[in-house]
Amino acid sequence: MKKITVITGHYGCGKTNFAVNQSLALAKNGEKVTIVDFDIVNPYFRTADFGELFRKNGVNLAASIYANTSLDIPAISFDIERMAYESGYLIIDVGGDDAGAIGLGRYSDALMQYKDNIDMLYVVNSYRYLTKDYSETLELMYEIEEASKMKHTGIINNSNLGKETTAQTVLRSIPYAEKIAQEAGLPLVGTAYREDLDISLQGGIPVKIYVKPVWED
pLDDT for res 214 = 52
Q: Using CA atoms, how far apart are residues 90 and 93, in angstroms rounded to an integer? A: 10
pLDDT digits (tens, 9 = 90+) for 4-54: 999 999 988 999 999 999 999 999 999 999 999 886 655 555 677 788 999
Q: Using CA atoms, how far apart are residues 88 and 43, in angstroms rounded to an integer? A: 28
68-72, 112-116, 117-121, 213-217: the lowest-pLDDT one:
68-72
pTM for the whole thing? 0.90
Selection from 57, 60, 106, 49 nearest residue 86 by Cα = 60
The percent of residues above 70 in pLDDT, for the chain, comes to 87
- With beta carbons less than 8 A apart as the criterion, state whether 59 and 34 touch: yes
Strands in 4-9's sheet, in edge-to-edge order, are 59-62, 33-38, 89-94, 4-9, 118-124, 154-157, 188-194, 204-207
pLDDT digits (tens, 9 = 90+) for 166-201: 999 999 999 999 999 999 999 999 999 999 999 989
Q: Which CATH architecture has domain 4-216?
A: 3-Layer(aba) Sandwich (3.40)
Domain ranges of the chain: 4-216
Of the pLDDT bands very low, low, confident and very high (cuts 50, 70, 90), residue 211 is confident
